[in-house]
Amino acid sequence: MRVLHVEGGAELYGGAQQVLYLLEGLAQGGIENHLACRPGCDLAVQAASFATVHGIPMYGDLDLGMIRRLQRIIDACQPDIVHLHSRIGADVMGALAARSRALPVVHTRRVDNPEPRWLMAWKYRLHDRVVAISQGIARVLHDGGLPASKLRVVRSAVDARPYAGERDPARCRESLGLAPDGLAIGVIAQLIPRKGHRILLQALPELLSAHPRLRVYFFGKGPLAGDLQEEIDARDLAARVRLAGFRADLASLLSCLDLVVHPALLEGLGVSLLQASAAGVPIVASAVGGIPEAVRDGVNGRLVPAGDPMALGAAVDALLRDAPLRRQLGAGGRVLVRQEFSVATMTRGNLEVYRDLLAPRASSSNSAR
């Protein structure tokens, strides 16, 4: 089987990281992968071991030229199926390119924000299957009118191996400027409104007063960086709250954290939550979208209503005061990731979608002989 994957993300986190996991898993199973992505991006570099990489410009939702660029790749590699992994124009332009060559199309949906019913009816007519990465996203799609016959759920995954090894907490804490006896909270998310950083900022004055040794790190980058820094400064929190940027060494840094907080207002699933659980770090998160599938209240963390700084602060405070409970929830997270969110499980799920789509074509081909 030959599969052309299309991913428009420029950074190797979130959806692009999931594509890399899938490429590796499929390659190990003997699938021939081709990948269309932005030239020279981190995904292109990392994926070269598992796929033939085709670097093309991708200019967004209105990039009509992407159709022709993808048609040329399709004509060159002759895939059996086209898998569209992102929006950024790929969900529509990629589908049109595949349809023009009479190829089956799979689209993975990673966000839970609803779309107008008319747009869903038009757009998803172009896709043979729509793969939701969580039941939460599947509900949004179903409520928007997507036929059940097209909808499949294949959850995102995490490779637990980089997060499971022994670490040197002292060296890790030193790299963050954290005292040996300090408490550390991490928020691991793009700096965009729906990730809810401001909800935590509203809760922090009381938390920082109650826990003098507490430090907070926002890992990630995005358009809100300047606004968040202004708010941190205005609230006089700069000595204890830091925008730490995107960190490629996150697997080692997680071992420094006592708690991961994810106050998102919308979330498809939350790969950073799977990473935290793989590292044995307990979580406090909003009960929205697919988050309750990644964070089980009382198993690997605590869930709170979205947009409620008082509830968020109370849950964080309770865990910061209870080290044994943090250890219990951290251990629960490791088990949960191993049992339900492995890369092998995610790869098998996508492969089943491909085989389901290709089976009628194979039957027709055999009948014609």
pLDDT tens by residue, 148-185: 999 999 999 999 988 886 667 777 777 788 888 899 99
178 and 282 in a common domain: yes
Residues 150 and 224 in one domain: no
For 264-314, write each residue's pLDDT tens digit.
999 999 999 999 999 999 999 999 999 999 999 999 999 999 999 999 999
Tell me: the pLDDT tens digits for 181-193? 899 999 999 999 9
Would you say 83 and 5 are in contact if contact means Cβ atoms under 8 Å apart?
Answer: yes
* CA–CA distance, 263 with 265 (Å, rounded to integer): 7
The average confidence (pLDDT) of the chain is 93
| pLDDT exceeds cutoff 60 at 368 | no
Burial classification of residue 306, based on how many CB atoms lie within 10 Å of its CB (0-12 exposed, 13-18 middle, 19 or more buried): buried
When comparing pLDDT for 88 and 228, which is higher? 228
**Straight-line distance from the first to the last Cα atom of the chain, in angstroms, rounded to the nearest whole number:** 20
Three state DSSP letters for the chain: CEEEEECCCCCCCCHHHHHHHHHHHHHHCCCEEEEEECCCCHHHHHHCCCCEEEECCCCCCCCCHHHHHHHHHHHHHCCCEEEECCCCCHHHHHHHHHHHCCCCEEEEECCCCCCCHHHHHHHHHHCCEEEECCHHHHHHHHHCCCCCCCEEECCCCCCCHHHHCCCCHHHHHHHCCCCCCCEEEEEECCCCHHHCHHHHHHHHHHHHHHCCCEEEEEECCCCCHHHHHHHHHHCCCCCCEEEEECCCCHHHHHHHCCEEEECCCCCCCCHHHHHHHHCCCCEEEECCCCHHHHCCECCCEEEECCCCHHHHHHHHHHHHCCHHHHHHHHHHHHHHHHHHCCHHHHHHHHHHHHHHHHHHHHHHHHHHC
pLDDT given at position 262? 98
Q: Are residues 96 and 188 in the same domain?
A: no
Nearest to 70 by CA among 47, 53, 54, 51: 54
- On whether the CB atoms of residues 327 and 308 are closer than 8 A, the answer is no
Instruction: Name the amino acid, one letter, at 156.
Output: S
Positive or negative torsion for Cα 286, 290, 294, 298? positive
Statement to judge: residues 200 and 133 lie in one domain:
no
- My answer on whether 324 and 255 are in the same domain is yes
What are the residues whose beta carbons fall under 8 Å from the beta carbon of 46, sequence distance 6 or more?
12, 20
- Distance between CA 17 and CA 158 in Å, rounded? 9
pLDDT-based confidence at 114, cuts 50/70/90? confident
Residues 116 and 217 in one domain: no
Task: Report residue 290 as tokens.
Answer: 């697919």
Based on the domain organization, do 322 and 180 belong to the same domain?
Answer: yes
365: pLDDT confidence band, cut at 50, 70 and 90?
A: low
Percentage of the chain lying above the pLDDT 90 cut: 81
- Residue 163 and residue 342 in contact, taking contact as beta carbons nearer than 8 Å: no
Instruction: Give the pLDDT mean for 134-147.
Output: 93
Cβ atoms 298, 339 nearer than 8 A: no
Q: Domain check: are 128 and 175 in the same one?
A: no
* Same domain, residue pair 167 and 302: yes
Q: Say whether both 104 and 66 belong to one domain.
A: yes
Counted domains in the chain: 2
In whole angstroms, give the CA distance from residue 63 to residue 91. Answer: 11
CB 191 within 8 A of CB 228: yes
CB atoms within 10 A of CB 183: 18
Give the domain range for residue 64: 2-157+342-368
Residue pair 99/122 in contact (Cβ under 8 Å)? The answer is: no
In terms of domains, do 188 and 226 share one? yes
Asked whether residue 71 falls in the same domain as residue 183, the answer is no
Rounded (10°) CA dihedral 11, 14, 20, 24: 160
CATH number where 261 lies: 3.40.50.2000
Residues 6+ apart with CB under 8 A from 1: 31, 32, 80, 81, 354, 358
pLDDT band at residue 120 under the 50/70/90 scheme:
confident
Query: What are the residues whose beta carbons fall under 8 Å from the beta carbon of 272, sequence distance 6 or more?
Result: 188, 189, 260, 262
- Report the chain's C-alpha Rg in angstroms: 21
Residue 367 in this model has a pLDDT that exceeds 60: no
**For residue 117, pLDDT beyond 60:** yes
